[in-house]
Amino acid sequence: MGIRTRSFANNILSGGVFDATDLDSALPSSNIDDTSVTNITAVPSLASTSIVASDPPAPDAGQIWYNTTDRVLRGYVLGTASWATGGNLGTASTGLAGAGIQTAALAINGEVPTPPVQSNKTEEYDGSSWSAGGNSAISRNNLAACGTQTAGLGFGGYSPSVPGNTNATEEYDGSTWTTGGNLNTARSSLAGAGIQTAGLAFGGGTPGNATEEYDGATWTAGGNLNTARSDLGGTGTQTAGLAFGGTPPVTGATEEYDGSTWTAGGSLNTARRFPGGAGTQTAALAFGGFLPPNTGVTELYDGSTWTSSPVSMSTARRNFADAGTQASALAIGGEDTANVAATEEWNGAVLVTTELGAS
């Protein structure tokens, strides 16, 4: 009798385990150690396939291997992106600002309901729940922020203590806010990027195209935006910033900053105001906002082009806080038909190890 062969795919059960009950002919010992097919020693000729006792610590995209310990066929493939429910803010707020990463974020100030009033509160996120942080010196909404949970920067906004747009800057050390250098242009509905000692403020107020750079103590003028706007999204660093969306009129225009000059980038597919933003200039995320109506549309930027994700936010909203990266972001609070306390966590489509087999 000749050697009998059979495709692995026909004998893979749920979880990637092999079954050989229908293989009734003799199989050469060079291919298997026993008739239950629990000890594979050779696999068909597949690209990047190997037999290992444990999963590779750093597999390549598309790599496939058979794990002899777990008796499963695995591969390194692109996972599915999703928005998931996170912990609610202690106080439903709109017009607040965010900083940090998904597992260590700040929600700063904003407007709270009943009655609507600007707040000086700070909340800290640990990846699952929010807790109270230190209060800022002034109350405001529609401010911008950047930095980390233990080295945050909040600036601009509308404050009843002015009353009107403010140029106030405050620095956070993880528990306490202290006064920093004032913006040269008082404004609200602006965007921010960078870190506490190298911050970037752009757009907002009048004339709406001003950019300023912070060195940890003082703001100095940078290059002006080409498209003046408020209610815009922003992310990146002081020398590689990204501005997108905003109004008036509602726009999808994107601009990239190199530390001195703004140049045009690829436009959003969905023009909007009040979008959230996360990530870097070459790997950014834009989500939510107001068209009208409110939207939960999510887009990814690669440094030149925005691509729409098939996954949208669970709650369409505007004027919320944001934090994180293109692969791991937060949407915090904001406004639906009223102020919301909801937090959503974005988990991007990243490469993951998965078991291959019939379900």
The count of domains in the chain is 2
The per-residue pLDDT for 356 is: 85
251 vs 20, residue with greater confidence: 251
The per-residue pLDDT for 90 is: 97
| Residue 338 pLDDT exceeds 60 | yes
Over range 234-242, report the average pLDDT: 98
Separation between Cα atoms, residue 57 and residue 5, nearest integer Å: 32
Shared domain check, 210 and 165: yes
78, 95, 117: which is the final residue of a domain?
78
Shared domain check, 215 and 298: yes
The per-residue pLDDT for 13 is: 56
| Residue 49 pLDDT exceeds 70 | no
The per-residue pLDDT for 133 is: 98
**Does residue 17 belong to any structural domain of this protein?**
yes
Shared domain check, 249 and 342: yes
**Does residue 357 belong to any structural domain of this protein?**
no
Shared domain check, 24 and 40: yes
| Residue 27 pLDDT exceeds 80 | no
The per-residue pLDDT for 358 is: 46
Residue pair 177/162 in contact by the 8 Å Cβ criterion: no
26, 59, 78: which is the final residue of a domain?
78
Shared domain check, 251 and 157: yes
CATH number at residue 328: 2.120.10.80
**Does residue 72 belong to any structural domain of this protein?**
yes
| Residue 301 pLDDT exceeds 60 | yes
Backbone φ and ψ for 68, nearest 5 degrees, come out as -70, -20
Quickly count: other Cβ atoms within 10 Å of residue 63's Cβ: 19
54, 78, 102: which is the final residue of a domain?
78
**Does residue 354 belong to any structural domain of this protein?**
no
| Mean pLDDT taken over the chain | 89
Separation between Cα atoms, residue 124 and residue 104, nearest integer Å: 7
61 vs 112, residue with greater confidence: 112
Q: What pTM was computed for the model?
A: 0.80
pLDDT one-digit tens code per residue, 258-299: 999 999 999 999 999 999 999 999 999 999 999 999 999 999
pLDDT one-digit tens code per residue, 311-335: 999 999 999 999 999 999 999 999 9
Shared domain check, 111 and 17: no
The per-residue pLDDT for 30 is: 52
SS (H, E, C) the chain: CCCCCCCHHHHECHHHCECCCCCCCCCCCCCECCCCCCCECCCCCCCCEEEECCCCCCCCCCCEEEECCCCEEEEEEECCCEEEECCCCCCCCECCEEEEECCEEEEECCEECCCCEEECCEEEECCCCEEECCCCCCCEECCEEEECCCCEEEECCEECCCCEECCCEEEECCCCEEECCCCCCCCCCCEEEEECCEEEEECCCCCCCCEEEECCCCEEECCCCCCCCECCEEEECCCCEEEECCECCCCCCEEEECCCCEEECCCCCCCCECCEEEEECCEEEEEEEECCCEEEEEEEECCCCEEECCCCCCCCCECCEEEECCCEEEEECCECCCECCCEEEEECCCEEEEECCCC
Separation between Cα atoms, residue 250 and residue 246, nearest integer Å: 6
| Residue 47 pLDDT exceeds 60 | no
Shared domain check, 297 and 242: yes
The per-residue pLDDT for 32 is: 43
| Residue 45 pLDDT exceeds 50 | no
Shared domain check, 163 and 312: yes
Over range 334-339, report the average pLDDT: 96
Shared domain check, 100 and 169: yes
Q: In sequence order, which residues have a C-beta less than 8 Å from that of residue 341 and are 6 or more positions away?
A: 88, 89, 90, 91, 92, 93, 333
Shared domain check, 191 and 63: no
Shared domain check, 155 and 220: yes
- For 155, the domain range is 84-347
Share of residues in the chain with pLDDT > 90 (%): 77
Over range 91-96, report the average pLDDT: 98
pLDDT one-digit tens code per residue, 202-225: 999 888 999 999 999 999 999 999
